[in-house]
């Protein structure tokens, strides 16, 4: 789940939004520490085209890493005797209080009251997992931890709380910074697993692996068909002329984590009742499903089974350049997640309806964990102006809100660049 508003992950103020996050991160580093950074880590947001809530059911999903990114400018501090004690220290343009993680980091079994709070939990959680797994035990300069102390500054263009995975982008950026400085190059899937463990066991959000895999494994110009059981990633080319438009509805929900955990438990209950390891193992509901499942579990299972099939159907449609077929499947996915999985919301439904009625739209659906945040639309790039002109007043008339439209490109995953 993404960090709540007021923490890292949202863009800077209006006067700064034309300045890329990478530039802002470097400026913030110099302002905070009085010297130049040596490395820049960039980590993208992701939008999921189809395959929602399937990842923790061992299923399929089809995300895209998009060109809204979080950046950390940094440099190691053990090369400067006066730099202070052994810590990871990260300042943010969104929060005056830095995230500071002492090295070695806390033990993995540290009780929640003794852990960092707010957005610093994500930073600390990644460090804890790196130390606990022994990923760097034989590398860095701190015995038993393998973590090299560093200072960093964070800037981000990812809207907070919108379901675009600002938390996963932060986790992967910190993980890549730590492993790079320690001289380690873990496989993308291992980095994703580590970041997921940080979110599950340290932050306490029962997320699947979709967000982390999409952020770290993105491929420019492609969506990613991810098999969440085998962790196989298959690139799916996006047709030329097709725009992926992320619609930030302006709605936010603070208390999503408990509802997310409820849906996960309901899916697990359905799998047990149907005697399968996970709902992924079913291509259709058995004939006696209604007698074996309570009504809620039945709806959840029906959605997950249909959603897995839609992932392959959308991937095939995109690969053959059939945007109309892909769009119809997105609309079917939205109906399913609204009616059977019950995690849509009024603003999300209004955004999908307004998008579908606008010129040039092939299809739309809510995206992310649900209840609020963003929808995604597939739009003919040559008709973007007409789409925007029709969508904005229609959505405002339905909701009294103003949406923000992000026309996105598919980009590469989390990476690190030397600045000098």
Which residues are known catalytic residues?
211
| Residues 340, 349: Cα–Cα separation, whole Å | 14
Residue among 350, 404, 347 nearest 372 (CA): 347
> Within 13 Å of residue 139, how many CA atoms lie on the same side as its CB?
17
The CA-based dihedral angle spanning residues 203, 206, 211, 215, taken in that order and rounded to the nearest 10 degrees? 30
Give exposure, 96-117, as e/b (b: 16+ Cβ within 10 Å). eebbbbebbbbeeeeeeeebbe
The pair of three-digit structure tokens given for residue 124, joined into one six-digit string: 């600390």
- The Cα-based distances of 41 to 64, 78, 170, 258 in angstroms read 19, 19, 10, 32
Specify whether the CB–CB gap between 12 and 130 falls below 8 A.
no
Strand partners, 222: 237
Strand partners, 240: none
Q: Which residues contact 318 (CB under 8 A, 6 or more apart)?
A: 223, 236, 237, 238, 239, 242, 326
Q: Which residues contact 245 (CB under 8 A, 6 or more apart)?
A: 355, 376, 377, 378, 379, 384, 387, 405, 406, 407, 408
């Amino acid at each position: 789940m993404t960090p709540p508003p007021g923490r890292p992950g949202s863009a800077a103020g209006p006067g700064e939004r034309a300045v890329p996050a990478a530039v802002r991160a470097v400026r913030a580093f110099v302002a905070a520490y009085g010297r130049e950074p040596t490395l820049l880590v960039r980590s993208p947001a992701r939008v999921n085209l189809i395959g929602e809530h399937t990842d923790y059911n061992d299923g399929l999903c089809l995300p895209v890493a998009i060109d809204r990114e979080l950046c950390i400018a940094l440099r190691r501090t053990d090369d400067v005797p006066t730099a202070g004690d052994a810590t990871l220290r990260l300042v943010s343009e969104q929060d005056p209080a830095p995230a500071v993680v002492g090295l070695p980091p806390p033990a993995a079994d540290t009780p929640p009251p003794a852990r960092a709070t707010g957005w610093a939990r994500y930073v600390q959680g990644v460090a804890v997992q790196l130390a606990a797994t022994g990923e760097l035990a034989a590398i860095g300069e701190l015995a038993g931890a393998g973590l090299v102390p560093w200072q960093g500054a964070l800037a981000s263009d990812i809207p907070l709380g919108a379901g675009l995975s600002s938390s996963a982008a932060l986790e992967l950026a910190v993980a890549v910074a730590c492993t790079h400085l320690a001289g380690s190059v873990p496989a993308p899937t291992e980095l994703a697993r580590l970041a997921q463990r940080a979110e599950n066991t340290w932050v306490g959000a029962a997320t699947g692996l979709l967000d982390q895999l999409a952020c770290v494994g993105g491929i420019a110009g492609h969506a990613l068909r991810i098999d969440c059981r085998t962790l196989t990633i298959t690139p799916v080319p996006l047709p030329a002329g097709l725009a992926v438009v992320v619609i930030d509805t302006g709605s936010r929900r603070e208390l999503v984590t408990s509802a997310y955990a409820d849906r996960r438990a309901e899916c697990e209950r359905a799998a047990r009742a149907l005697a399968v390891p996970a709902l992924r193992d079913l291509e259709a509901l058995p004939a006696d499903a209604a007698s074996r499942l309570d009504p809620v579990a039945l709806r959840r299972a029906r959605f997950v089974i249909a959603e897995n099939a839609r992932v392959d159907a959308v991937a095939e449609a995109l690969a053959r350049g059939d945007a109309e077929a892909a769009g119809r499947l997105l609309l079917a996915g939205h109906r399913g997640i609204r009616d059977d999985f019950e995690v849509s919301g009024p603003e999300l439904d209004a955004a999908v309806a307004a998008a579908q009625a606008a010129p040039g739209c092939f299809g739309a659906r809510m995206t992310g964990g649900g209840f609020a945040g963003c929808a995604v639309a597939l739009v003919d790039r040559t008709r973007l102006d007409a789409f925007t002109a029709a969508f904005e007043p229609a959505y405002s008339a339905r909701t009294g809100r103003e949406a923000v439209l992000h026309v996105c490109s598919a980009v590469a995953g989390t990476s690190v660049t030397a600045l000098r």
